[in-house]
Amino acid sequence: MRRKEFIQARARMQSETIDELICLLSSDNLPTRFLAEMCLRDKTST
């Protein structure tokens, strides 16, 4: 994933709720799980 695509994907995922992000942590898609974890950490400030 290129930097620009990564930034866009992360921005889109930021609108997900905490519950939705937690569900995405079990995705089979590694980039999805990675982005979900990053966004979840951002939302919970950890």
Model pTM above 0.85: no
pLDDT digits (tens, 9 = 90+) for 31-43: 999 999 999 999 9
Per-state percent for the chain, helix, strand, coil, to nearest 5: 70, 0, 30
pLDDT band at 1; cut points 50, 70, 90: low
Predicted confidence at residue 45, as pLDDT, reads 85
CA distance 18 to 43: 7
Task: Tell me the two tokens of residue 46.
Answer: 């950890």
46 pLDDT more than 80:
no
Mean pLDDT of 6-29: 94
Strands (E), 1-46: none
Q: What angle do CA 2, 8, 26 make, to 5 degrees?
A: 90
Predicted confidence at residue 8, as pLDDT, reads 93
